[in-house]
Amino acid sequence: MQYQHEKLTYVELGSNALTLSKRFFSAVFDWQFSDYGPDYSAFDDQGLEGGLFQREEGAAPITGGALLIFYSHDLESTAAKITRHGGVICKAIFDFPGGRRFHFYEPGGNELAVWSDQPVV
């Protein structure tokens, strides 16, 4: 792989429940992980490489920061899959210029979003 100068190549997400986060991302988005010890798991081939790390016990809640946004051809089915696997929708599907999207929390506490440019069927 050739990296581009001054472009994003990797993202790390802290998790309050690493095992649950890994299970969730595997089930919903088909991520595969490589474990590097008990507190870190890397993923690749997802449009951006990255990793999940176990946050320290008692760490403050996860708030603010960058919002990672997935794309879906079918928002409603993706939302259903997210809730079926332990995610919580925190902002229901809404319109914005260019499409529709929703926000959710994964079991490890991170807020993420899913968007689509596909019209309501």
Strands 49-54 and 40-43: antiparallel
Q: Domains of the chain by range and CATH?
A: 10-56+67-116 (3.10.180.10)
β-partners of residue 41 are 35, 52
CA 59 to chain centre: 20
- Show pLDDT as tens, one digit a residue, over the chain (121 residues): 677 877 888 999 999 999 999 999 999 999 999 999 999 999 999 988 999 999 887 777 677 778 899 999 999 999 999 999 999 999 999 999 889 999 999 999 999 999 999 877 6
What's the pLDDT score for residue 3?
Answer: 75
Q: Say which amino acid occupies 59.
A: A
Distance CA 16, CA 3 (A): 31
What is the pTM for the complete model shown?
Answer: 0.87
Nearest C-alpha neighbor of 104 from the set 115, 113, 94:
113
Contacts (Cβ under 8 Å, ≥6 apart) of 71: 114, 115, 116
